[in-house]
Amino acid sequence: MIIGSVPVVAAGARTSARAEAGGGAGGGAPGAEAGWGRRKRWAEQMDEHMSGRILLVEDDERIRMSMRLALEGEGYEVDEAASGEVALGRFADQPADVVLLDLMLPGMDGFECCRQLRRVSTVPVVMVTARSDTHDVVAGLEAGADDYVTKPFVAKELSARIRALLRRVRAADQPSLARFGDVEVRPEEGTVLRDGEEVHCTRTEFRLLCELVANPGKVLSREQLLDRVWGYDYFGDGRLVDVHIRRLRMKVEPDPANPSHILTVRGLGYKLGV
């Protein structure tokens, strides 16, 4: 099922994932079918079916209905909101496991809604947008989103992304207590302390930090981090890693502009300095 198949003006080159999604909307292009075949095989390797409560924030009634039907068909419980203001109220009444958030909303836009959510929760947020421009994608990630999909997209792909988010949120395979500089990571508690004071991290930031501290001094490529933290490597985007690394540095580095803990290894990836 292709969802959100509306006229979209391309804004520069897209990632292979977005190109495949767009091709599917155009009548089943071979690239889309091949790309989805890889994703389907990956999804079928999961040990068990995961369900959860989804808060769907979308002002277009037709798209919202299509997304709801597709997600309910995958076993999710879906709550709906047509605006950011309504979404915040629904979330306060009954928190969701994942929030699907359209960026182009009436009144409060998706960026501000995401920022408001981040003030009260670390719930995984997936942006759903018709914009493929790098600036908009990065702005959404900077606002606190964990991932994004670009309209039009394949419903099964969205479901796979949600399962990946839920899997890593519920994962128990975390490294032991770790310290570097004045930072202490406590995986069992899900907390990060800096100089004895708790640092607020989203689940994605925390998971990313755990991967780095579990491999001190070892360079991890963007592809490896996408696979280990986001749970997939077929349709990920390296910008997800870069933005979350930048946000982590703002929280754990004495001087984020000149990091001493989370280091960039040019052309290779990132590592935790030892």
Report pLDDT digits (tens) over 172-196: 445 567 888 899 998 878 899 999 9
Q: Are 191 and 198 in contact, with CB atoms under 8 Å apart?
A: yes
Q: Which CATH class is domain 178-272?
A: mainly alpha
Q: Could you tell me where in the chain the CATH 3.40.50.2300 domains are found?
A: 2-26+48-170
pTM of the model: 0.59
Q: Could you tell me where in the chain the CATH 1.10.10.10 domains are found?
A: 178-272
Greater pLDDT, 165 or 19: 165
pLDDT in tens, 118-172: 999 989 999 988 766 778 888 888 999 998 888 887 888 888 888 888 876 665 4
Work out the number of other CB atoms within 10 angstroms of the CB of residue 207.
23
| Rounded distance between C-alpha atoms, residue 49 and residue 94, angstroms | 23
CATH code matching the domain that covers 2-26+48-170, chosen among 3.40.50.970, 3.40.50.2300, 1.10.3720.10, 3.40.50.300: 3.40.50.2300
